[in-house]
Structure 1
Amino acid sequence: MLSTTARIDAFAKCRPPDVLHDVIYPYYQPIQERLSDVEVVIDGRRVLMAGSNDYLGLSNDPRLKAAAGEALRRFGAGNSGSRVLNGTLESHQRLEGELADFLGHEAAMVVSTGYQANLALSSLFGSGDLLLADRHIHASLIEATRLGQARLQRYRHNDTAQLAELLRAADPATGLMIVTEGMFSVAGDLCDLPGIADLATRFGARVIVDGAHDVGLLGAGGRGAAEHLGRLSAVDVQTVTFSKCFGTTGGAVTGPAHVIDHLRHHARSAMFSASLPPACTAAALAALDVIRTEPERRRRAIAAGRRLRSGLAVFGLPMVAADTPTVALEVGDAALCCRLWKELFDQGVLANAMLPPSVPGGKALIRLSVTAAHTDVQVDRILEAVAGAVRRVSPAHHGAATA
């Protein structure tokens, strides 16, 4: 029997990666004050946000704040219970009805976060099912596949040829589900939904799409990547988060009524968690109204993204191809990525450093995102900061960055 002195410490694994030194630590920067939709104070300095997911600039909108304030006054700060017992509000049910109608589905279930919405999917993943998931799906979807009982196979990112091979090889007696994001959260590129939809029809598979980053932003009516790509009816189940385009927090699953009813009684992340607070529910309802009636916000966010992307292209920097407000600068080396992040921060621009495990090893990147609230002057300021950061950190890009 091992003595206590010889036993391995179970906490020995708990140490940060070597690349994360204090001088370039890119995470958990405390915001002290919010000055505007896109400017904050960090460590006493005015900083321009270039990594926010508030694509429509709604989190500081007076209408959302007024709706949230009224709900807070009427119902308090929380619901003190789960949806299934005593935590369901009339506003939850109203939001569910409006979301389902907006996305063209029969029903919806509102939960407390977008992460929980994806975890709720695990109750659909039975032992007789096969999940075919894009390799770039969000961590919450990966966790859902682990919690479920279905067998999981991953296909190369947006590789419908490999997806077709996996579908063709599947046992005919197996239930098939294809899981993807609409707009991928890290790089801002879109799934090949037309290709996925055609394969789903051919092989009898169900299609599940995480619309966290695209619902509200893409499509003529703001219904997301599915509408933008002309395949809205191809999506069987959709998850949504309220922490991006809706400017608050919370999430939902939409789909056929019998599927949503199943989730209400079997999805542990929803059943055993406190319900979405009244203020957030009211804010989400107000945001949905804005999404339906103010398409100019979507157009402005996309235009800001195009301005940012075209400016970065002049520098000759490697980027993931997309036409969204999110731009992923491919860096590769994690230490170099942290240095670039620090240079940007020193110039008053807060970007996102994406390191493993959020991206594969050797694939570190800087994620930049702009919103409807960014002015052209502010987008140009981000471009100037990137040019300066690249010039200081990567001499190989000096000529391109000063072009």
Structure 2
Amino acid sequence: MQRQLCERLRDDLDELSSRNLLKVEREIASPQSAHIQLRGLGGRSVLNMCANNYLGLANHQSLVQAARAGLERHGFGMSSVRFICGTHHIHRALEKRLTDYLRTDDTILFGSCFDANAGLFEALLDANDAVISDSLNHASIIDGIRLCKAKRFRYANNDMDQLERALREARQCRTVLVVTDGVFSMDGIAANLPGICDLAKRHGALVMVDDSHAVGFIGPQGRGTPARNGLEHQVDIVTGTLGKALGGASGGYVSGRGEIIAWLRQRARPYLFSNSLMPALCEASLTAIELAEHADDLRENLAARTRQLRQGLSNLGFQLSGVDHPIVPVITGDAAIAVQISDFLLALDILVVPFSYPVVPEGAARIRMQVSAAHSAQDIERVIGAFQLAQSKGRSAPTFSRHMG
């Protein structure tokens, strides 16, 4: 039986490899930054266009110093879950700081936002309830919803007509929760929060937003998509991460109504059965939030570099998704073409990553780039020039040019 499983997995891996769908993990030999060294490439430096390092804080010396001081003050780890002996005062301090920053009632920390989303739905909803989810929501939301027994509805991305039909179908349920990403990570598309909140209010539903790709750099003081839309008091639950704009390490949270957070402390399984965050990470995260809150200069550069990249690629005729978000997906459709372009750019010392099924739907392959505030105008011009060169090379190779120019 064991041999059959291993043989089947080997065959499946060979099949992925033959289709250029095998994911390759690049080993970094330097701190995370706009320019990194890749092991296996002779240690040469490459321009990094695929990190979630939106504010460029992943290697910020203030965070490094805060984490180092946290190690000295609090030790390495807690060796416990929160309700036993894993709650350090620094956990409470970070939860309060996030609460103040996001302007909610309370916040609860998790090991990751994936854990936060995995623990939320099962704790709050049962067979008497309903959850209505956008079709492009993150895998952690999809998996979290699967763990609960609530009735499930799905609406096409940002389709308010379908959402309203689902709300009507769910009107007999005890609690109805509408769930959306603030920004959809594979597409760089923002959720229509005004439309969602308006419909939810009219139908007596709650609203949850996963704002992982927004908090820190979108909205006033980087407080996220609810703040950008003036809807902080109409969104009942916000989940998010410390692993992207806020330092890029790890850790997640749920922030929102006080009663909801209090109940999650009693029933959310990833919270009850996983070690608490290391205190040094909490210290660094406190510093990251302080920096993000006052980082208008970083947000301005991030927006300028995003406009520069999007405009440059659009002028070349590339098909992009999204409008103004630093997630910049270049749609190729064909997975092999995405791999070819990424390999071509790597030869020019630019790191981009191709995405294909099952991360995105079949036929919707893409190269997803992410702009950082640490990128310069020269960095972005270099990327645009590389795509232009790839485009000119592709015109003489039909399999490389179907979606180019």
TM-score normalised by structure 2 residue count: 0.92
5 Å-filtered alignment, 1:161-176, equals 161-176=161-176
- Tell me how many residue pairs correspond in the alignment: 398
Matched residue, 1:207: 207
For 1:325, give the aligned amino acid: P
- In the aligned structure 1, how far is the partner of 2:39 from the partner of 2:215? 30
Gap change, CA 1:106 and 1:338, over 3 Å in 2: same
Structure 1 gaps, min length 5: none
5 Å-filtered alignment, 1:282-293, equals 282-293=283-294
5 Å-filtered alignment, 1:308-347, equals 308-347=309-348
Moved more, 293-302 or 238-247: 293-302
| Offset at residue 170 of structure 1 (A) | 2.0
Structure 2 gaps, min length 5: none
* Contact 2:28/2:36 (<8 A) preserved: no
Matched residue, 1:196: 196
- In the aligned structure 1, how far is the partner of 2:19 from the partner of 2:69? 42
5 Å-filtered alignment, 1:100-249, equals 100-122=99-121, 123-247=123-247, 248-249=249-250
* Contact 1:24/1:342 (<8 A) preserved: no
| Offset at residue 400 of structure 1 (A) | 11
Matched residue, 1:269: 270
| Offset at residue 174 of structure 1 (A) | 3.7
For 1:203, give the aligned amino acid: H
| Offset at residue 219 of structure 1 (A) | 0.4
Gap change, CA 1:357 and 1:394, over 3 Å in 2: farther
- In the aligned structure 2, how far is the partner of 1:192 from the partner of 1:108? 24
Which of structure 1's runs of 4+ aligned residues deviate more than 6 A?
396-402
| Offset at residue 121 of structure 1 (A) | 1.1
Matched residue, 1:294: 295
| Offset at residue 76 of structure 1 (A) | 2.2
Instruction: Say whether residues 1:46 and 2:45 are aligned partners.
Output: yes
Matched residue, 2:354: 353
For 1:380, give the aligned amino acid: E
Match for 2:31 among 28, 31, 34?
34
* Contact 1:34/1:41 (<8 A) preserved: no
Gap change, CA 1:75 and 1:200, over 3 Å in 2: same
- In the aligned structure 2, how far is the partner of 1:217 from the partner of 1:325? 10
Gap change, CA 1:125 and 1:347, over 3 Å in 2: farther
Secondary structure at the residue paired with 1:51? coil
**Structural RMSD (CA):** 2.3
* Contact 1:344/1:385 (<8 A) preserved: yes
For 1:87, give the aligned amino acid: G
Q: How big is each residue's C-alpha offset from its partner over 1:22-61, in whole Å with a ceiling of 9 and x where there is no partner?
A: 9885531111223854333332221110011010000111
For 2:146, give the aligned amino acid: R
For 2:257, give the aligned amino acid: P
| Offset at residue 344 of structure 1 (A) | 1.5
For 2:224, give the aligned amino acid: G
| Offset at residue 399 of structure 1 (A) | 12
Percent of matched pairs sharing the same residue: 34
